[in-house]
Amino acid sequence: MSKLWGGRFTKETNKLVEEFTASIPFDQKLAKEDIAGSLAHVQMLGESGIIPEEDADKIRNGLLQIKDLVDQGEVEFLVEDEDIHMNIEKLLLQQIGPVGGKLHTGRSRNDQVATDMHLYLRTKTTELITLVEDVQNAIIGQAKVNIETLIPGYTHLQRAQPVSFAHHLMAYFWMFERDKERLIDSLKRINWLPLGAGALAGTTFPINRKRVAELLGFDTIYPNSMDAVSDRDFILEFLSIGSIIMTHISRLAEELVIWSSQEFQFVELDDSFCTGSSIMPQKKNPDVPELLRGKTGRTYGNLIGLLTVLKGLPLAYNKDLQEDKEGMFDTVETLEGSLKLLAPMIETMTVKKDVMRKAINNDYSNATDIADYLVTKGLPFREAHEVIGKIVLYAIQSGKFLLDLSFEEYQQFSPLFEDDIYNVLAPEHVVAVRNSFGGTSPVQVKQQIKLAEEKLLK
């Protein structure tokens, strides 16, 4: 059988052109969606009397048979049939004969392909929401058993103030919570139906777009046919949300790489999530978090790629738009793979509380608390800051930590010091008094985890 659009042509297509313009090597991923769209379209054609009901039935049966063949992996897609739409239409014609040719009535590949991608992203976005939640659950699991575990909190990667390890982990919960909100919100725009826009201007047939929307579960119909066939904002939005998710994953991955290094040793990743070196037998490499960090790059690339494809396109459909697919599939697959690994990696990692504790004991991250102490004794904060700066310098020069200085030494710097200063400096105390809403005190962290669990139940 020759090309479905072959009528106007006098020559065979150049083989290189065929290969260059074909999208079937990648858009075969849309087979299920393409058939679903066709099933709804043909049902509407039959119901509206645009084609006879019995023809619609034949087409429906043919499509269902093709669906089975596709599910069983028994279909051989052909480059000469260019894309998924024409491959399936060709199969239909082979299956049921010329009546199959009625399927494309009142429709174009332009509204068809857009519909396929809306359907695809709707399914994938819904699945990704669940995968994000799995990561959130893993975070909560570790947080719950580490509320009292203290870790240095950093700014500029310099020890700043001690924090609850649960608090540190939960910061990522909220990033993923916003990601989830973004994914959910994007469904509103994914749920716009392009089908029925025709090639660009609508169709002469009395189609019922509302019915198709109902059959395919869309709640909005594109009100402008030209916008419908050339809009890829919903994919841009997905790629952008995907990039933000990967940014969060990458930041957490970076922390896991740092924490599992010999220098930090705050956590140990489970053996089943690490790999070895082919030459250095002692090595246990954090390949998974490294790759999570590394794969973030391709998701940014996919976003920039599509933004660039779209920026100069005149209305309506242009073949450039075919370039929207591989990046989209790649980001979907990158997100799926990354989220699926991240959750169990967090669940199975060992938190080395004793090492974290040693780090806390051997630093000056309680300095702010002595400043606050002097403030409560009436000294203006700026002056207190200056005094404590001098104390820290003195302590460093004498090779001591703040808890090691004697009461006399404190008194030399300010007569306001009393012997309750030592209680103030204890790391537990330092953490417990940061009890403002959203702070790191155990009371606040417990409340935060409760709030997080409520979010997940919604």
Q: Under a CB-based contact definition with an 8 Å cutoff, are residues 153 and 365 in contact?
A: yes
The secondary structure of residue 386, as a DSSP letter, is H
173-202 residues in contact with ligand ARG (CB under 6 A) are none
303-342 residues in contact with ligand ARG (CB under 6 A) are 317, 319, 321-322
Give the contacts of 309 (CB within 8 A, at least 6 positions apart): 320, 321, 323, 324
Which one, 317 or 373, has the nearer CB to ligand ARG? 317
Query: Closest approach of Cβ 115 to ligand ARG, in Å?
Result: 11
Q: Under a CB-based contact definition with an 8 Å cutoff, are residues 354 and 274 in contact?
A: no
Q: Under a CB-based contact definition with an 8 Å cutoff, are residues 170 and 70 in contact?
A: no
The secondary structure of residue 363, as a DSSP letter, is S
CB atoms within 10 A of CB 298: 17
Which one, 110 or 338, has the nearer CB to ligand ARG? 110
Which one, 128 or 321, has the nearer CB to ligand ARG? 321
Which one, 9 or 381, has the nearer CB to ligand ARG? 9
Query: Closest approach of Cβ 302 to ligand ARG, in Å?
Result: 16
Q: Where are the beta strands (DSSP E) in 80-157?
A: 150-155
Q: Which of 309, 187, 189, 289 is nearest to 246 (CA)?
A: 289
Percentages helix, strand, coil for the chain (3-state, rounded to 5) are 65, 5, 30
Which one, 117 or 367, has the nearer CB to ligand ARG? 117
Query: Closest approach of Cβ 237 to ligand ARG, in Å?
Result: 19
Q: Could you report how far apart the first and last alpha carbons of the chain are, in Å?
A: 54
Q: Which residues carry out catalysis?
A: 156, 277
Query: Closest approach of Cβ 114 to ligand ARG, in Å?
Result: 8
Q: Is the peptide bond before 316 cis (omega within 30 degrees of 0)?
A: yes
Name the β-bridge partners of 427: none
The secondary structure of residue 75, as a DSSP letter, is -
The secondary structure of residue 12, as a DSSP letter, is P
Which one, 87 or 149, has the nearer CB to ligand ARG? 87
Residue 116 amino acid letter: D
Residue 165 and residue 147: Cα distance in Å, rounded? 7
Site string for ligand ARG, 263-302 (x = CB under 6 A): ----------------------------------------
Query: Closest approach of Cβ 226 to ligand ARG, in Å?
Result: 14
44-83 residues in contact with ligand ARG (CB under 6 A) are 83
Q: How many residues bind ligand ARG (CB under 6 A)?
A: 10
Residue 327 and residue 311: Cα distance in Å, rounded? 16
Give the contacts of 397 (CB within 8 A, at least 6 positions apart): none
77-106 residues in contact with ligand ARG (CB under 6 A) are 83
Site string for ligand ARG, 10-39 (x = CB under 6 A): -------------x---x------------
Query: Closest approach of Cβ 142 to ligand ARG, in Å?
Result: 43
247-266 residues in contact with ligand ARG (CB under 6 A) are none
109-148 residues in contact with ligand ARG (CB under 6 A) are 109-110, 113
- Binding residues for ligand ARG (CB under 6 A): 23, 27, 83, 109-110, 113, 317, 319, 321-322
